[in-house]
Amino acid sequence: MSGTGAGVEVGATGPERTFGPLTTQMFVRYSGASGDLNPMHYDHAFATKAGYPSVFSQGMHQAALLATFATDWLGAENVRRFHVRFRDQVWPGDVLTCSGVVTGLRDGEDGRLATVELTCTRQDGSVAISGSADFLVA
């Protein structure tokens, strides 16, 4: 499925997507795929020795999940900018909800660009990462 974003207007929202409950296996899979082998995200003994209650997810892992939501909504080939700010840690067992809203439309070099605000929240409502992106919509 690949949306074209046709008919997108300011205020339009994407279909929310939830991920999880997250598992350490998902963190391991992201470590391998990304090449970020920081043991903090899969080695429990390492993480607890560093003072954390357990391993936790990579911020870039959540960013990738948010990107899945955004590209399913507006089309993978249409992305022109994708920005995230890391805000809260994400733990095994967490359920993340990704959502987005169109906040602006303007004419870019190769067509009409929609700016969207993106949010990835944990099950307690805290924001794990916030972001914004530009997608071609026409």
Partner 1 sequence: MTDSEAGPSYEVLIERGKIREFAQAMQSESPAYEGGAAIVPPTFLTTAARWAPPRARADTGFERARLLHGEQEFVFHGPPPRAGQRLWASERIVDRSEKSGRRGGLMRLAVVVTEFRDDEGTLVAEARSTLIERAKAAEKPTEESS
Side chain identity, residue 28: V
CB of 23 to partner 1, least distance (A): 12
Please say which residue, 10 or 76, places its beta carbon nearer to partner 1.
76
Count, residues near partner 1 per rule CB under 8 A: 35
Task: Report how far apart, in Å, the C-alpha atoms of 124 and of each of 39, 96, 118 are.
Answer: 26, 10, 18
What CA–CA distance (Å, rounded) separates 134 from 138? 12
For partner 1, the binding residue among 4, 40, 44, 60 (CB under 8 A) is 60
35 near partner 1, judged by CB under 8 A: yes
65 touches partner 1 by CB under 8 A: yes
